[in-house]
Homo-oligomer: A and B are copies of this chain.
Amino acid sequence: MAGNTFGRLFRVTTFGESHGKALGAIIDGCPPGLTLDEEYIQKELDKRKPGCFLGSTPRKESDKVEILSGVFEGYTTGTPIALIVYNKDAKPSAYEHLKDLFRPGHGDFTYFMKYGGFRDYRGGGRSSGRETVGRVAAGAIAKRILEEYSIEVTAYTIALGGIEAKKKDLSKVYQNKLYCPDEEAYELMIKEIEKAKKEGDSLGGVVEVVAKGVPAGLGEPVFDKLEADLAKAVLSIGAVKGFEIGSGFKGAYSRGSQNNDPISPKGFLKNDAGGVLAGISSGQDIVIRVAVKPIPSISIPQKTINKNKEEVELVVKGRHDVSAIPRIVPVIEAMVRIVLADHLLMQLANLAFQKRIKFPDFFE
């Protein structure tokens, strides 16, 4: 129990169910003096809004975020920032027929088992992708912190429905509906989505994240290594089934002479490490890849059971995406930012002590 808080110095706690009253987050540990307004956060939230993309759910949520605390006259105050998004277009009745079923690939069965049968079955309740609203809102605060240190995080789609991006032109990422850095691949992905939609099926994909400008020194070995916290952060997102950093699984098939990154007086000569060595950022780009499973809600009939152990044929209707991509992209981005903001602050404590920075003395 009590698993809804993430981070140590920059700490995010989220709440809310798919068809409850509201979703949101408390962000604790944001330093004071940062400019912040709802518009800034909204911009991030809009990236994951339903209804924006082809093949995406027609649920109409404006997802307007409201800042309830922690910001005063346009500046953060160092106190907890509470963010709230009210659910507007909840249609709980649409889920009545699912209430005793365990949908394959969903959390229905496991929530049923863990919580003794007490669960909000409407749209998956807390296990819904909609839970990520709080994460993305919190990620916007992390973004605000990272900006001050010129750290930029970009997530983008490198595979969808089996189509792989060949190019990685980050300037293209926000120019198409799938956050894809390769225009040709984008066109093919769209076709794949249309095809899957017609067939009532869903698609998985791979998202890559690059963090630029991360200084050397972030990460707290041996357990809170930067890559360990990144892995936890992204695996905590529903639909994510895999994580790799740098050369990752491919590196597992290589040799040390290939995989090691030589160092010259001007810096590292390549980056198979993905920006970390021994759990600590090296100053190179952080590069990770994230495996996203096909969303489990499909309209192709599936075999399952209900809570009385009776066989049921399930045909999911309702409002569903064909793929968690692209809407999961800003969520992954948010989680990576949250990890970096947290580690940035931890390393600042270390660095500040090393420099013996002075405390202000008002009466001096």
Tell me the minimal C-beta distance from A48 to chain B in angstroms. 15
B1, A295: Cβ atoms closer than 8 Å:
no
Write out the residue numbers on chain B whose beta carbons fall within 8 Å of the beta carbon of A69: 15-17, 20-23, 126
Interface range on chain A: under 10, 10 to 19, 20 to 34, or 35 or more? Answer: 35 or more
Contact of A106 among B278, B352, B363 (CB under 8 A): B278
B282, A120: Cβ atoms closer than 8 Å:
no
Count copies of this chain in the complex: 4
Known: A21-B66, A196-B255, A349-B349. A78 touches B1 (CB 8 A): yes
A104, B261: Cβ atoms closer than 8 Å:
yes
Interface string of A217-230 (1 = CB under 8 A from B): 10111111101111
A348, B347: Cβ atoms closer than 8 Å:
no
Within 8 A of B (CB), among A62-97: 66-70, 72, 75-82, 84
A293, B216: Cβ atoms closer than 8 Å:
no
Write out the residue numbers on chain B whose beta carbons fall within 8 Å of the beta carbon of A232: 223, 228-229, 231-232, 235
Write out the residue numbers on chain B whose beta carbons fall within 8 Å of the beta carbon of A241: 227, 244-249, 251-252, 274
Tell me the minimal C-beta distance from A208 to chain B in angstroms. 12
User: Across the two chains, which residue of chain B brings its CB closest to A66?
Assistant: B21
User: Across the two chains, which residue of chain B brings its CB closest to A127?
Assistant: B278
Q: Kindly state the separation between the CA atoms of A145 and B354 in the bound complex, as whole angstroms.
A: 11
User: Across the two chains, which residue of chain B brings its CB closest to A118?
Assistant: B32
Tell me the minimal C-beta distance from A351 to chain B in angstroms. 6
Can you list 5 residue pairs at the A/B interface with Cβ under 8 Å?
A: A1-B345, A8-B8, A15-B81, A113-B282, A247-B293
Write out the residue numbers on chain B whose beta carbons fall within 8 Å of the beta carbon of A215: 359-361
Cβ of A28 within 8 Å of any chain B Cβ, yes or no, is yes
Contact of A363 among B3, B72, B266 (CB under 8 A): B266
User: Across the two chains, which residue of chain B brings its CB closest to A30?
Assistant: B1
Cβ of A280 within 8 Å of any chain B Cβ, yes or no, is yes
Write out the residue numbers on chain B whose beta carbons fall within 8 Å of the beta carbon of A315: none
Interface string of A270-281 (1 = CB under 8 A from B): 000110111111
Tell me the minimal C-beta distance from A172 to chain B in angstroms. 21
B16, A9: Cβ atoms closer than 8 Å:
no
A113, B3: Cβ atoms closer than 8 Å:
no
A235, B231: Cβ atoms closer than 8 Å:
yes
Q: Kindly state the separation between the CA atoms of A231 and B245 in the bound complex, as whole angstroms.
A: 12
A251, B110: Cβ atoms closer than 8 Å:
no
Write out the residue numbers on chain B whose beta carbons fall within 8 Å of the beta carbon of A258: 294
A296, B15: Cβ atoms closer than 8 Å:
no
Tell me the minimal C-beta distance from A330 to chain B in angstroms. 16
User: Across the two chains, which residue of chain B brings its CB closest to A312?
Assistant: B263
Tell me the minimal C-beta distance from A212 to chain B in angstroms. 14
Cβ of A171 within 8 Å of any chain B Cβ, yes or no, is no
B217, A1: Cβ atoms closer than 8 Å:
no
B11, A249: Cβ atoms closer than 8 Å:
no
A82, B15: Cβ atoms closer than 8 Å:
yes
Given A266-B363, A348-B352: 19 more A-B contacts, CB < 8 Å? A1-B31, A2-B28, A5-B28, A16-B68, A16-B80, A106-B277, A110-B277, A148-B353, A149-B356, A204-B255, A225-B236, A228-B231, A231-B243, A242-B245, A242-B248, A256-B300, A265-B305, A269-B303, A351-B352
